[in-house]
Amino acid sequence: MRTYTHNKQTVKQQLRTSPGGVIAAYGYERLIFLSLLLLSATLTGCGPFYGIFIDPLIPAPKVPAEHDMSDKHILIWVDDFSAAVQDSNKPPGAPALRRELTEKLRQELLDNHAVASAVDYDSIVRFRRQNPGKTELSIQQLGTAIPQKPAQEVLYIMIDNFKLHHEAGQDCYDASIDGYCKIIDVATGKRPWPAGQTHRTFHAGGKVAVGHGQAFEDEQVRLLCREAAENIAPFFYEHRKQKRDQL
Protein backbone atom coordinates (compact mmCIF):
# COMPACT_ATOMS: atom_id res chain seq x y z
CA MET A 1 0.00 0.00 0.00
CA ARG A 2 1.25 3.44 -0.94
CA THR A 3 0.95 6.35 1.42
CA TYR A 4 0.88 10.03 0.43
CA THR A 5 1.95 12.98 2.49
CA HIS A 6 1.17 16.58 1.62
CA ASN A 7 2.53 19.67 3.17
CA LYS A 8 0.59 22.92 3.47
CA GLN A 9 2.16 24.50 0.39
CA THR A 10 1.27 21.52 -1.82
CA VAL A 11 -2.38 21.67 -0.75
CA LYS A 12 -2.59 25.38 -1.64
CA GLN A 13 -1.11 24.69 -5.05
CA GLN A 14 -3.65 21.95 -5.75
CA LEU A 15 -6.50 24.22 -4.72
CA ARG A 16 -5.45 26.87 -7.24
CA THR A 17 -5.09 24.39 -10.12
CA SER A 18 -8.37 22.49 -9.71
CA PRO A 19 -11.90 23.70 -10.56
CA GLY A 20 -13.05 23.33 -6.99
CA GLY A 21 -9.85 24.96 -5.87
CA VAL A 22 -10.69 28.18 -7.68
CA ILE A 23 -13.78 28.54 -5.53
CA ALA A 24 -11.87 27.68 -2.39
CA ALA A 25 -9.02 30.05 -3.22
CA TYR A 26 -11.10 33.08 -4.17
CA GLY A 27 -14.12 32.50 -2.04
CA TYR A 28 -17.75 31.96 -2.74
CA GLU A 29 -18.52 35.55 -1.88
CA ARG A 30 -16.49 37.00 -4.76
CA LEU A 31 -17.98 34.62 -7.32
CA ILE A 32 -21.50 35.33 -6.13
CA PHE A 33 -20.85 39.09 -6.36
CA LEU A 34 -19.50 38.77 -9.91
CA SER A 35 -22.47 36.63 -10.97
CA LEU A 36 -24.94 39.15 -9.58
CA LEU A 37 -23.13 41.98 -11.35
CA LEU A 38 -23.31 40.22 -14.71
CA LEU A 39 -26.97 39.33 -14.18
CA SER A 40 -27.84 42.91 -13.29
CA ALA A 41 -26.05 44.26 -16.35
CA THR A 42 -27.92 41.80 -18.58
CA LEU A 43 -31.34 42.67 -17.18
CA THR A 44 -30.95 46.42 -16.99
CA GLY A 45 -28.80 47.05 -20.04
CA CYS A 46 -26.41 49.14 -17.96
CA GLY A 47 -22.79 48.96 -17.05
CA PRO A 48 -19.62 48.18 -18.99
CA PHE A 49 -20.26 44.43 -19.08
CA TYR A 50 -23.42 44.95 -21.13
CA GLY A 51 -21.79 47.22 -23.68
CA ILE A 52 -18.70 45.06 -24.07
CA PHE A 53 -19.97 41.49 -23.74
CA ILE A 54 -23.76 41.36 -23.98
CA ASP A 55 -24.91 43.95 -26.51
CA PRO A 56 -22.81 42.61 -29.44
CA LEU A 57 -24.48 39.20 -28.97
CA ILE A 58 -28.03 40.57 -29.21
CA PRO A 59 -29.22 40.87 -32.85
CA ALA A 60 -30.65 44.19 -33.96
CA PRO A 61 -34.44 44.25 -34.39
CA LYS A 62 -35.90 43.46 -37.80
CA VAL A 63 -37.47 46.24 -39.85
CA PRO A 64 -40.27 45.13 -42.20
CA ALA A 65 -40.42 46.19 -45.84
CA GLU A 66 -42.37 49.40 -46.36
CA HIS A 67 -43.62 48.11 -49.70
CA ASP A 68 -43.61 44.51 -50.96
CA MET A 69 -42.51 43.96 -54.56
CA SER A 70 -41.12 40.45 -54.07
CA ASP A 71 -43.53 38.91 -56.61
CA LYS A 72 -43.38 41.72 -59.18
CA HIS A 73 -41.48 42.57 -62.35
CA ILE A 74 -40.39 46.20 -62.10
CA LEU A 75 -38.78 48.98 -64.10
CA ILE A 76 -36.22 51.24 -62.42
CA TRP A 77 -36.33 54.60 -64.19
CA VAL A 78 -33.79 57.27 -63.24
CA ASP A 79 -34.14 60.91 -64.32
CA ASP A 80 -31.37 63.41 -63.63
CA PHE A 81 -32.62 66.95 -63.11
CA SER A 82 -29.13 68.00 -62.00
CA ALA A 83 -27.80 67.35 -65.51
CA ALA A 84 -30.02 70.11 -66.87
CA VAL A 85 -28.58 72.68 -64.48
CA GLN A 86 -25.51 74.37 -65.84
CA ASP A 87 -22.99 74.59 -63.01
CA SER A 88 -19.19 74.58 -63.23
CA ASN A 89 -19.07 72.46 -60.06
CA LYS A 90 -21.15 69.69 -61.62
CA PRO A 91 -19.17 67.29 -63.82
CA PRO A 92 -20.61 65.97 -67.08
CA GLY A 93 -21.61 62.35 -67.36
CA ALA A 94 -25.29 62.10 -66.44
CA PRO A 95 -25.69 58.86 -68.45
CA ALA A 96 -22.98 57.23 -66.32
CA LEU A 97 -24.74 58.41 -63.19
CA ARG A 98 -28.07 56.94 -64.37
CA ARG A 99 -26.43 53.69 -65.38
CA GLU A 100 -24.51 53.19 -62.15
CA LEU A 101 -27.49 53.96 -59.92
CA THR A 102 -29.90 51.81 -61.94
CA GLU A 103 -27.60 48.79 -62.11
CA LYS A 104 -26.52 48.90 -58.48
CA LEU A 105 -30.06 49.36 -57.20
CA ARG A 106 -31.33 46.58 -59.46
CA GLN A 107 -28.66 44.23 -58.11
CA GLU A 108 -29.40 45.18 -54.49
CA LEU A 109 -33.10 44.42 -54.96
CA LEU A 110 -32.44 41.10 -56.70
CA ASP A 111 -29.81 39.97 -54.19
CA ASN A 112 -32.22 40.58 -51.31
CA HIS A 113 -35.22 39.01 -53.09
CA ALA A 114 -37.06 42.33 -52.94
CA VAL A 115 -38.33 41.91 -56.52
CA ALA A 116 -39.05 38.93 -58.75
CA SER A 117 -37.29 40.54 -61.72
CA ALA A 118 -36.36 43.94 -63.14
CA VAL A 119 -35.82 45.38 -66.62
CA ASP A 120 -32.10 45.34 -67.45
CA TYR A 121 -30.36 48.62 -68.09
CA ASP A 122 -29.34 47.77 -71.67
CA SER A 123 -33.03 47.62 -72.63
CA ILE A 124 -33.58 51.02 -71.02
CA VAL A 125 -30.65 52.52 -72.94
CA ARG A 126 -31.95 51.17 -76.27
CA PHE A 127 -35.37 52.62 -75.54
CA ARG A 128 -33.93 56.06 -74.70
CA ARG A 129 -31.82 56.13 -77.88
CA GLN A 130 -34.50 54.86 -80.24
CA ASN A 131 -37.34 56.90 -78.75
CA PRO A 132 -36.00 60.22 -77.48
CA GLY A 133 -39.43 61.84 -77.61
CA LYS A 134 -41.08 59.10 -75.58
CA THR A 135 -39.11 60.03 -72.49
CA GLU A 136 -41.88 62.57 -71.99
CA LEU A 137 -44.32 59.74 -71.29
CA SER A 138 -45.86 59.48 -67.85
CA ILE A 139 -44.25 57.13 -65.37
CA GLN A 140 -47.21 54.78 -65.76
CA GLN A 141 -46.80 54.71 -69.54
CA LEU A 142 -43.06 54.04 -69.28
CA GLY A 143 -43.86 50.79 -67.48
CA THR A 144 -45.31 49.29 -70.66
CA ALA A 145 -43.43 51.25 -73.35
CA ILE A 146 -40.16 49.28 -73.24
CA PRO A 147 -40.47 46.25 -75.56
CA GLN A 148 -39.90 43.60 -72.97
CA LYS A 149 -42.16 41.94 -70.44
CA PRO A 150 -44.38 44.83 -69.21
CA ALA A 151 -43.44 46.06 -65.76
CA GLN A 152 -46.03 45.79 -63.01
CA GLU A 153 -44.53 48.67 -61.03
CA VAL A 154 -42.08 51.47 -61.74
CA LEU A 155 -39.53 52.54 -59.16
CA TYR A 156 -39.04 56.13 -60.24
CA ILE A 157 -35.95 58.04 -59.09
CA MET A 158 -35.20 61.71 -59.63
CA ILE A 159 -31.68 63.00 -58.99
CA ASP A 160 -32.07 66.56 -57.74
CA ASN A 161 -28.46 67.37 -57.03
CA PHE A 162 -25.10 65.81 -57.90
CA LYS A 163 -21.77 67.27 -56.84
CA LEU A 164 -18.24 66.13 -57.41
CA HIS A 165 -15.69 68.89 -57.17
CA HIS A 166 -12.52 69.87 -55.37
CA GLU A 167 -13.02 72.39 -52.59
CA ALA A 168 -10.63 75.31 -52.89
CA GLY A 169 -7.97 75.33 -50.20
CA GLN A 170 -8.92 71.91 -48.85
CA ASP A 171 -7.41 68.52 -49.52
CA CYS A 172 -10.68 66.82 -50.34
CA TYR A 173 -13.49 66.50 -52.84
CA ASP A 174 -17.09 67.36 -52.05
CA ALA A 175 -19.00 64.40 -53.47
CA SER A 176 -22.74 63.91 -52.97
CA ILE A 177 -25.97 62.86 -54.59
CA ASP A 178 -29.48 63.82 -53.49
CA GLY A 179 -32.88 62.97 -54.87
CA TYR A 180 -36.21 61.35 -54.27
CA CYS A 181 -38.01 58.14 -55.23
CA LYS A 182 -41.51 56.68 -55.42
CA ILE A 183 -43.41 53.66 -56.73
CA ILE A 184 -46.07 53.89 -59.43
CA ASP A 185 -48.45 51.00 -60.13
CA VAL A 186 -48.57 50.49 -63.90
CA ALA A 187 -52.11 49.09 -64.01
CA THR A 188 -53.75 51.87 -62.02
CA GLY A 189 -51.32 54.79 -62.19
CA LYS A 190 -51.59 55.15 -58.42
CA ARG A 191 -48.69 55.63 -56.02
CA PRO A 192 -48.64 52.73 -53.49
CA TRP A 193 -45.39 53.94 -51.92
CA PRO A 194 -44.54 55.93 -49.92
CA ALA A 195 -47.84 55.91 -48.08
CA GLY A 196 -49.08 59.36 -47.14
CA GLN A 197 -46.22 61.14 -48.95
CA THR A 198 -45.55 62.21 -52.52
CA HIS A 199 -42.03 60.74 -52.46
CA ARG A 200 -39.15 59.62 -50.24
CA THR A 201 -35.85 61.50 -50.29
CA PHE A 202 -32.39 59.94 -50.24
CA HIS A 203 -28.83 61.17 -49.80
CA ALA A 204 -25.36 59.75 -50.26
CA GLY A 205 -21.89 61.23 -50.06
CA GLY A 206 -19.53 63.36 -48.04
CA LYS A 207 -15.90 64.34 -48.06
CA VAL A 208 -13.47 62.06 -49.85
CA ALA A 209 -9.70 62.01 -50.24
CA VAL A 210 -8.11 63.92 -53.07
CA GLY A 211 -7.46 62.06 -56.26
CA HIS A 212 -6.66 62.99 -59.82
CA GLY A 213 -7.97 62.23 -63.25
CA GLN A 214 -11.06 60.80 -64.86
CA ALA A 215 -10.54 57.36 -63.33
CA PHE A 216 -10.73 58.83 -59.83
CA GLU A 217 -13.94 60.72 -60.59
CA ASP A 218 -15.51 57.66 -62.22
CA GLU A 219 -14.76 55.65 -59.08
CA GLN A 220 -16.40 58.32 -56.90
CA VAL A 221 -19.53 58.15 -59.06
CA ARG A 222 -19.64 54.37 -58.58
CA LEU A 223 -19.19 54.69 -54.81
CA LEU A 224 -21.89 57.35 -54.54
CA CYS A 225 -24.36 55.28 -56.53
CA ARG A 226 -23.62 52.16 -54.51
CA GLU A 227 -24.24 54.06 -51.28
CA ALA A 228 -27.48 55.53 -52.65
CA ALA A 229 -28.64 52.08 -53.79
CA GLU A 230 -27.88 50.62 -50.36
CA ASN A 231 -29.93 53.41 -48.78
CA ILE A 232 -32.94 52.96 -51.08
CA ALA A 233 -33.19 49.18 -51.42
CA PRO A 234 -33.96 48.34 -47.74
CA PHE A 235 -37.31 50.12 -48.03
CA PHE A 236 -38.45 47.07 -50.00
CA TYR A 237 -37.24 44.08 -47.96
CA GLU A 238 -37.08 43.02 -44.34
CA HIS A 239 -33.71 43.86 -42.83
CA ARG A 240 -31.89 44.27 -39.55
CA LYS A 241 -31.87 47.80 -38.19
CA GLN A 242 -28.35 49.12 -37.86
CA LYS A 243 -27.50 49.63 -34.19
CA ARG A 244 -25.94 52.98 -34.95
CA ASP A 245 -29.40 54.15 -36.10
CA GLN A 246 -30.79 53.43 -32.63
CA LEU A 247 -28.44 55.80 -30.81
What is the structure's pLDDT at 222?
92
What pLDDT, on the 0 to 100 scale, is given for residue 51?
55
By the 8 A CB rule, do 173 and 208 touch?
Answer: yes
pLDDT score recorded for residue 149 = 84
The pLDDT of residue 79 is above 70: yes
Cβ partners under 8 Å of residue 102, min gap 6: 76, 78, 121, 124
- Mean pLDDT computed over every residue of the chain: 78
* Alpha-carbon torsion angle 131, 134, 135, 138, nearest 10: -150
Please give the residue that has the higher pLDDT: either 233 or 209: 233
Give the CA count within 13 Å in the CB-facing half-sphere of 87.
Answer: 13
Q: Could you tell me if 206 and 176 are in contact, meaning their C-beta atoms sit under 8 angstroms apart?
A: yes
Taking residues 83-108, what's their average pLDDT?
Answer: 75
pLDDT at residue 131, rounded to an integer: 82
Tell me what pLDDT residue 48 has. Answer: 55
pLDDT digit string, tens, across residues 170-199: 667 788 999 999 999 999 999 999 999 999
